[in-house]
Structure 1
């Protein structure tokens, strides 16, 4: 009985004095709910009747009042929302007061994402100095800067040449702050340098990345190569040697890269070197497509190496590639340069058989070749065939025919084609119009000549 009484007293004591712990789930849920309501209050306070009302420090008052109303403290998300709202509504002058309060009055560790937003807001509005100042003040906000915010700042600085000159100094200061340059950082710089044509500097950065064993995005190699081909002299620059240098930094060119190099060499009139690039492709086990063969054909035809052109055309057929209209045009151009116009005509028939219709370029090549051998009858026949086949004549077609008619002293026909070109709103060479006017004057066709002069004026 005494034992039972003792247990009863102990039980009463525990019920009277014990502390019942709160459920951690209920506490987190309650806090989350309060923050949710506070954020809704904040959004309502910032946007009133469709217009933002956060001038003269109103932004901070709205944050404080919204969270005080729900008995909780402002969150990083609240600050980020306000800063984004200020940026979207072009009230950048009010961001400073928000940052000052965040720096002096809050205790939480500020997320880097807030500074990234601020840097972009300042930078893309041309306030470069303020963007730089924010980056270097990041440690004051209980935050450790990293490549995340550095990349944001660099993205702003590389947008124009003037601010790009500030990058070396920024990188040095960032390094002293302990910010480590990442692959993405180099990517931003290389992209910027390529864009403004500083491909030599960009190449040095890629080599540095390789020496530091950093992972290089393969797209950077392609960017370098295309930039070199865009900014260097296509008739002189050793692009093949450049590509070999890149190989030493673990570059493996693909079909697109080889195509860019081939086009660069053809533009520079270096058809023989294009063939060596094709051979290198084969060594790398990369199958050239019809675009590659078309470019190579263009190069060897320009070099008047017609035997090589024949060999290449046969080769692409043996590989099972189907020539398109561009390939045929290059090949037909080669035949016409050899005065083999009949061969060019036969190729047009071959095109039809494989379902590739001749286009305006095809006809222009053939008409010009016929005009050069003074076969006006054949040229006129092709001119009419274009209309029957629904192929629209372009400025070049008219120019070739007008010039041909003037050469054989058919001034009226030349004048008729010129008027037709005008009616179709095609651009005609000024010199060709002047030649027609002179020929009309020689034939005493002064009214027609005066009409053309008025048109020219």
Structure 2
């Protein structure tokens, strides 16, 4: 109060000075006095302005964000309680629950409604789905998020409702939503699950241009994978060429998948696989170790061991170190071609490179020695396998046993069978069949 009194006295002194300077202007003096008195009254009432009972709330309490969130939670709880009794009218229960708390459902709320419909899956779920979609389209006015349609398309695809998924995709703009390539990829993935859906894909590709969707690299990859899954590599390669022409980069994994699919086809020979590999290289494909291995396996099955050896050399020239699997395949191909000289060189080469032979390597090489009637070398290799850290298996013994029976050395064959039993190697009927055939071929019917 002392400060207010001092301020009032100073204002009176200032007023007297102004009136002395402007004696002929009474209006100015009166206005100054009015200003001083009003300031004085305002100063005296400032201490009462921030009292709690005089405070002005900026907004009403029921319009705050936390209150709305709380209302949404209550509406959801009320909806969940209502559907426990009945699942036949989800939309009406949903709207009634939100109307009870005087709030409008949001897009996230409808997303929640669709999840409930998918999880509960009542008997008339297809009719309820159409009813909810019609309600969103004609009653609501918000921009529907794309994630809602993505979940619905996956759900329709799981129930093999491909036509409904296509219809929903082209209906998206009516829900005040601009579809992107993401929802397009989901639709293509749903259609590519079977051959019936694949037949619809070309129509979708053409119609998608009408709603301004530009196919991206991910879309091509989905289509190529689907074509490879059904074994249609030729159309997949056409799509790959079109993809390159559109300016997209070449995905190495996609090319590897196409090459592996080509190698698995039963009606495909090694020459066609090599030509296909060259075509893939022409579009920028850089084969890796597994790719070379698949092609080598295909060449060996086709009886082209020398071509497999040449591809092995190309592999090393490309800076890719072949593993023991590649060498095993090449060894098998050369031995099948009875090119034992090259097979010996390949075996020495893998040892020089520091590769550790596995059981397949020894079985293939011992088979080569037995085919060349080098039984002593084969038996020495078999006996030294354990010292080299690789114990022989039943296939190894069967190879040597067959060679002994063919050579008429039945006594050594019997000794090998006894040795197998002493080492607790399980002898199967095939082993006895080899021994019986050897005895009968040599005229020892009684023992056979």
Q: What range is the shorter-chain TM-score in? A: 0.7 to 0.9
- Please tell me whether Structure 1 or Structure 2 has the larger radius of gyration of its CA atoms: 2
Residue 9 (structure 1) shift: 5.7
The equivalent position to 1:81 in structure 2, one of 104, 112, 121, is 112
Aligned to 1:315: 349
Q: Gaps (5+ residues) in structure 2?
A: 1-7, 9-32
The equivalent position to 1:54 in structure 2, one of 81, 84, 87, is 87
Separation (CA, whole Å) in 1 of partners of 2:346 and 2:423: 30
Secondary structure of the 1:126 match is coil
Residue 345 (structure 1) shift: 1.0
Separation (CA, whole Å) in 2 of partners of 1:166 and 1:28: 47
Say whether 1:7 aligns with 2:39. Answer: yes
The equivalent position to 1:251 in structure 2, one of 285, 291, 303, is 285
Residue 101 (structure 1) shift: 1.1
Name the CA shift for 1:234/1:349 in 2 (closer, same or farther; >3 Å). farther
Aligned to 2:12: none
Q: Which runs of structure 2 are paired with 1:191-340 in the superposition (5 Å)?
A: 191-231=225-265, 233-340=267-374
Say whether 1:179 aligns with 2:219. Answer: no
Name the CA shift for 1:393/1:82 in 2 (closer, same or farther; >3 Å). farther
- Contact 1:112 1:143 (C-alpha < 8 Å) held by counterparts: yes
Secondary structure of the 1:251 match is coil
Secondary structure of the 2:390 match is coil
Bigger Cα displacement from structure 2, 278-287 vs 66-75: 66-75
- Contact 1:64 1:74 (C-alpha < 8 Å) held by counterparts: yes
Residue 126 (structure 1) shift: 1.7
Aligned to 1:64: 95
Separation (CA, whole Å) in 2 of partners of 1:186 and 1:38: 44
Separation (CA, whole Å) in 2 of partners of 1:36 and 1:60: 17
Aligned to 1:28: 65
1:249-302: CA deviations, max 9, x gaps?
Answer: 221111111111111111111101111111111111011111111111111111
Residue 82 (structure 1) shift: 2.3
Q: Gaps (5+ residues) in structure 1?
A: 415-457
1:183-208: CA deviations, max 9, x gaps?
Answer: 22111111111111100111111122
1:396-416: CA deviations, max 9, x gaps?
Answer: 3243233333334455655xx
Name the CA shift for 1:155/1:413 in 2 (closer, same or farther; >3 Å). farther
Separation (CA, whole Å) in 2 of partners of 1:304 and 1:121: 57
Residue 21 (structure 1) shift: 3.1
Separation (CA, whole Å) in 2 of partners of 1:73 and 1:5: 53
What TM-score do the two structures reach when normalised by structure 1? 0.83
- Contact 1:229 1:261 (C-alpha < 8 Å) held by counterparts: yes
Aligned to 1:418: none
Separation (CA, whole Å) in 2 of partners of 1:81 and 1:139: 21
**Root-mean-square deviation over aligned CA pairs:** 2.6
Residue 22 (structure 1) shift: 4.0
Separation (CA, whole Å) in 1 of partners of 2:268 and 2:434: 29
- Contact 2:270 2:298 (C-alpha < 8 Å) held by counterparts: no
Separation (CA, whole Å) in 2 of partners of 1:390 and 1:8: 113
- Contact 2:270 2:299 (C-alpha < 8 Å) held by counterparts: no
Aligned to 1:442: none
Name the CA shift for 1:41/1:239 in 2 (closer, same or farther; >3 Å). same
Name the CA shift for 1:252/1:352 in 2 (closer, same or farther; >3 Å). same
Residue 112 (structure 1) shift: 1.2
Bigger Cα displacement from structure 2, 246-255 vs 67-76: 67-76
